[in-house]
Structure 1
Amino acid sequence: MLERLDLKRKISKDDYNKVMDTLGERLGKAQRMARDAKKPIIIVFEGWRGARRSAIINTMMQEMDARGFNVYSTVLLTDEEKKQPFFTFYWKHLPALGHIAVYHRSWYYSKLAHSRNEDDVQYNCSRHVSYDRINKFEKMLTDDGYIILKYFLHLSEEQQKENVEKNAKTLGKAWRDVSPALDESGHYEEYLDIYEKMLESTDKANAPWHLIAADDRRSAEIEIITSIVESVEHAVDAPAPANVPSIRPAAQYDVLSKIDASVELSKEEYKKDLDKYQKRLRQLQIDMFKARIPTVIAFEGWDAAGKGGSIRRLTAALDPLGFAVHPVAAPNVVERQFHYLWRFWMNLPAPGGVAIFDRSWYGRVMVERIEGFAKDYEWQRAYDEIKEMEAQWAEHGFAIAKFWLQIDKEEQMRRFTARQNDPMKQWKITDEDWRNREKWDAYETAINEMLVRTDTSYAPWTIVKGNNKYYARLTVLKTVVDLFEKMLAKK
Structure 2
Amino acid sequence: MLEKLDLSKKVSKEDYNRIMEELGERLGRAQRLARDAKKPVLIVFEGWRGVRRSALINEMMQQMDARGFNVYSTVRMSEEEHEQPFFTFFWRHLPALGHIAVYHRSWYYLKNAHEVRGHGDRCKCLNISYEHINNFEKMLTDDNYLVIKFFLHLSNEQQKKNIDKNAKTLGKAWRDLSPALDESEDYAAYLERYERMLEATDKVNAPWHLIAAEDGRSARIDVFTTLVETIENAVHAPQAEAAPPVRPASNYDVLSKIDANKELSKEEYKEKLDKYQKKLSQLQIEMFKEQIPVVIGFEGWDAAGKGGAIRRLTAALDPLGFAVHPVAAPNVVERQFHYQWRFWINLPAPGNIAIFDRTWYGRVMVERIEGFAKPQEWQRAYDEIKDMEAQWAEHGVAIAKFWLQIDKDEQLRRFNDRQSDPDKQWKITDEDWRNRDKWDAYEAAVNEMLVRTDTSYAPWTVVEGNNKYYARLKVLKTVIDLFEKKLGK
- Give the TM-score range, shorter chain: over 0.9
Q: Name 1:140's counterpart in structure 2.
A: 139
Give the Cα–Cα distance (whole angstroms) in 1 for the partners of residues 392 and 444 of structure 2: 28
Q: Secondary structure at the match of 2:70?
A: strand
Residue deviations 1:93-144, cap 9 Å, x none?
00000000000000000000000123x4267321111111100000000000
Report the CA distance between 1:251 and its aligned residue: 2.3
Q: Name 1:17's counterpart in structure 2.
A: 17
Q: Name 1:291's counterpart in structure 2.
A: 290
Counterparts in 2 of 1:43-442, with a 5 A limit?
43-118=43-118, 120-121=119-120, 124-241=123-240, 243-249=241-247, 251-442=250-441
Report the CA distance between 1:174 and its aligned residue: 1.5
Residue deviations 1:215-258, cap 9 Å, x none?
000010000000000000000000111x4211234623111001
Q: Name 1:488's counterpart in structure 2.
A: 487
Amino acid at match of 1:12: S
Contact 1:264 1:471 in 2 (8 A): yes
Contact 1:248 1:380 in 2 (8 A): no
Residue deviations 1:48-86, cap 9 Å, x none?
000000011011011100000000000111100000000
Counterparts in 2 of 1:474-485, with a 5 A limit?
474-485=473-484
Contact 1:149 1:207 in 2 (8 A): yes
Contact 1:69 1:102 in 2 (8 A): yes
Contact 1:114 1:123 in 2 (8 A): no
Contact 1:44 1:103 in 2 (8 A): yes
Amino acid at match of 1:114: H
Contact 2:123 2:395 in 1 (8 A): no
Amino acid at match of 2:111: K
Residue deviations 1:172-193, cap 9 Å, x none?
0121111100011211111100
Give the Cα–Cα distance (whole angstroms) in 2 for the partners of residues 394 and 224 of structure 1: 38
Report the CA distance between 1:477 and its aligned residue: 0.1
Give the Cα–Cα distance (whole angstroms) in 1 for the partners of residues 30 and 250 of structure 2: 43
Displaced runs of 4 or more, over 6 A: none
Query: CA-atom RMSD, angstroms?
Result: 0.9
Give the Cα–Cα distance (whole angstroms) in 2 for the partners of residues 453 and 187 of structure 1: 46
Contact 1:83 1:122 in 2 (8 A): no
Amino acid at match of 2:315: A
Contact 1:304 1:416 in 2 (8 A): yes
Contact 2:141 2:147 in 1 (8 A): yes
Give the Cα–Cα distance (whole angstroms) in 1 for the partners of residues 92 and 356 of structure 2: 18
Give the Cα–Cα distance (whole angstroms) in 2 for the partners of residues 175 and 488 of structure 1: 44
Give the Cα–Cα distance (whole angstroms) in 2 for the partners of residues 60 and 254 of structure 1: 55
Amino acid at match of 1:379: W
Give the Cα–Cα distance (whole angstroms) in 2 for the partners of residues 111 and 299 of structure 1: 33
Contact 1:42 1:146 in 2 (8 A): yes
Residue deviations 1:408-437, cap 9 Å, x none?
001001101111111111111110000000
**Count of paired positions:** 488
Give the Cα–Cα distance (whole angstroms) in 2 for the partners of residues 287 and 111 of structure 1: 30
Give the Cα–Cα distance (whole angstroms) in 2 for the partners of residues 252 and 65 of structure 1: 53
Give the Cα–Cα distance (whole angstroms) in 2 for the partners of residues 123 and 67 of structure 1: 37
Structure 1 unaligned residues grouped into runs of 5+: none
Q: TM-score, normalised by structure 2?
A: 0.99
Give the Cα–Cα distance (whole angstroms) in 2 for the partners of residues 306 and 58 of structure 1: 54
Amino acid at match of 1:156: S
Give the Cα–Cα distance (whole angstroms) in 2 for the partners of residues 145 and 87 of structure 1: 19
Give the Cα–Cα distance (whole angstroms) in 2 for the partners of residues 225 and 277 of structure 1: 62
Q: Secondary structure at the match of 2:205?
A: coil
Q: Secondary structure at the match of 2:184?
A: coil
Contact 2:82 2:123 in 1 (8 A): no
Report the CA distance between 1:455 and its aligned residue: 0.1
Amino acid at match of 1:290: K
Q: Secondary structure at the match of 1:186?
A: helix
Q: Name 1:471's counterpart in structure 2.
A: 470
Contact 1:252 1:445 in 2 (8 A): no
